[in-house]
Copies of this chain bind each other. A is one copy, B any other.
Amino acid sequence: MPILDFFLGRPLANWEERGEQIGPSAGIPIFGLDALSSAAYGPEAALTLLIPLGLLGIHYILPVVTAIVVLLIIVYFSYRQTIEAYPHGGGSYTVASENLGHHPGLLAAAALMIDYVLTAAVGITAGVGALVSALPSLQPHLLGICLLILFILTFVNMRGVRDTGVAFLIPTYLFVGCLLIVILLGVFHVVVTGGHPVPVMAVPRLPAATTTLTLWLLAKVFASGCTAMTGVEAVSNGVMAFREPTAFNAKRTLTIIIALLIVLLLGIAFMCQAYGIGATEPGGSSYQSVLSQLTTAVAGRGIFYYVTIASILLVLSLSANTAFADFPRLLRAVAVDNFLPHLFALRGRRLLYSAGIYWLVFLTAGLLILFGGVTDRLIPLYAIGAFLAFTLSQAGMVMHWKRTGGPGWHWKMMVNGVGATATGLTTLVVLVAKFMDGAWVTALLIPLLILVMSLVKRHYDRVASQTADDTPLDMTGVSSPFVIVPLDRWSRITEKGMRFALALSHDVQAVHVDCGEHADALDAVWQRNVVAPVKAAGLPVPELVTLQSPYRVIILPLVDYVLKMEREHPGRTIAVLVPELVVRHWWENLLHNQRAQLLKLLLLVKGNQGIIVLNIPWYLQE
């Protein structure tokens, strides 16, 4: 255990929960990495679709990003209200199921589950992909590096929330700091040059226009840019991780994340327009990311350039961490409502929902291996889940205000209503724009997940309805059981079983299955070793029943006999005592038949409430 403690930290007691809670400074790396890192690919995704428009296309990026920012602000105000209303964690699942019903809740949950797994896989491969395009010699190790980063993320997260926040603090603030410097320098140049800045170093020239803008293209550009908004719901889902005053700290964290994201998005869009920088053909030989071009144009290719690029790569791959923070919490919330195995609601040694983390790692590793570390094809699947969850969450909040009222509920309802409408429309746009590219996979997976969760719930409901019991203990018919002891031959093992049987009940039967070997000998032993001493002790003498088994099967005649006795003694508990040799080494089991186990299994499968199988272990000494 000390080794485990050294690597993963010592176990945390329940009362140490408060020490694990965090404030905004740790909250930003933990819950904001996904949202902030999307500044690195959201605008680029939009610009890539504008390439065919040439230089003209760049003029559309600022309006599109502004529209996204407006949406972001709407979503921000909606989530502020959600956090306030759900200080114990107001993820889309919780809000939707509490206010709209179970099915919308499950829809949100399924959408988010898919989204988080994709966040983890796409985040890691995006970072590693950028690293590999910078250092092509690493290409053969692509998948290995992806899995290594997954391992590091897992390892850091297994140490608990606080340690994770500390570990990711520096990369996050370095990333934000560098990008802010790039933007400030750029704005300064623009202002100084009166709106016509000259790049410090040349950037690729844009190709000539090959098409003109259509509404359909604009919709697709908007839909792609919206990937910048994924990860915004993370804070509201993880409110419970914050220290008191919980809602206040969570809101402050959300405010900072959204404000930074807005500055980054608008800054990037503004500078692209000012410097005439667009996306380059992805996968082309002269590919260069938009942020790389921007940094080059503003600051040249000095140390600052390399630090900035490095921080982008790092934050991209670490953005997967948001999935680590939220996926287990989401699963826990669903499991508490009986829609997933209860295992997901148990907290491990570091107060984490460990099972959720294991599953996330398992699924992410599966995706990484399946796609060989190249997850470009997964990107279209992405973002729909997030927007679906946004919409359901906002719609839920509308119902929440209508239901609960409170001061200014009309205004609050309006804010969430605008949010729901805006995100709902966006969801439709994204779904239509990306359906053929792969969004249909998500559209298929979501109902499947909902089905599975419904089946799980049905099972738990069945168990609950059958086992629920608030009546006092029924003391009628509490009487000693009818005891059956399978008997092979007389030994200390059997003796222990018989002693226990006689202690339990006065109705004891020993049952011997005779395959044609030593029945008569056993009868004599029985008379001498059992009947005589029991008579002497003045107790009722147990009966020895011999079952003939011409086909040399031992277990089935026993099972049949037990079932027969059950029918003959209705209402009485039948206790089958299985004396069992317990060895100290696993390999010793190879030397003994496993009939006791098999008998137990069959009686469990065939039996009903009236039959109870009891192991009487007899321990072999060294």
Closest CB in chain B relative to A456 CB, distance in Å: 6
Q: Chain B residues with Cβ under 8 A from A550's Cβ? A: 13-15
Q: Would you call A591 an interface residue if the criterion is a C-beta within 8 Å of the partner chain's C-beta atoms?
A: yes
Q: Chain B residues with Cβ under 8 A from A214's Cβ? A: none
Q: Would you call A347 an interface residue if the criterion is a C-beta within 8 Å of the partner chain's C-beta atoms?
A: yes
Q: Select which of B470, B473, B495, B614 is within 8 A of A612 by beta carbon.
A: B614
Q: Which residue of B lies closest to A589 (CB)?
A: B341
Closest CB in chain B relative to A586 CB, distance in Å: 11
Interface residues of A in 439-489 (CB under 8 A from B): 456, 459-460, 462-463, 466-475, 478-481
B456 touches A591 (CB 8 A): yes
Q: Would you call A151 an interface residue if the criterion is a C-beta within 8 Å of the partner chain's C-beta atoms?
A: no
Greatest chain B CB density within 10 A among A11, A478, A593, A604 is at: A478
Greatest chain B CB density within 10 A among A12, A473, A491 is at: A473
B480 touches A503 (CB 8 A): yes
B342 touches A591 (CB 8 A): yes
Surface stretch bound by B, among A63-71, A382-390, A533-541: A533-541
- Categorize the interface residue count of chain A: 35 or more
Q: Would you call A618 an interface residue if the criterion is a C-beta within 8 Å of the partner chain's C-beta atoms?
A: yes
Q: Mark A473-515, 1 if CB is under 8 A from B, else 0.
A: 1110011110000000011111110111011100000000001
Q: Would you call A421 an interface residue if the criterion is a C-beta within 8 Å of the partner chain's C-beta atoms?
A: no
Q: How many copies altogether?
A: 2
Interface residues of A in 1-27 (CB under 8 A from B): 11-15
Q: Chain B residues with Cβ under 8 A from A473's Cβ? A: 495, 498-499, 502, 529-530, 533-534
State the CA gap A592–B345 with chains docked (Å). 12
State the CA gap A515–B474 with chains docked (Å). 29
Q: Given A609-B619, A615-B615, output 16 extra A-B contacts at Cβ < 8 Å.
A: A11-B551, A13-B550, A341-B591, A342-B591, A463-B620, A467-B492, A467-B581, A470-B490, A474-B499, A474-B533, A475-B534, A475-B537, A609-B618, A612-B614, A612-B617, A614-B614
Q: Which 9 A-B pairs have the closest CB atoms?
A: A13-B550, A467-B491, A475-B537, A472-B533, A14-B516, A614-B614, A467-B492, A469-B492, A472-B529
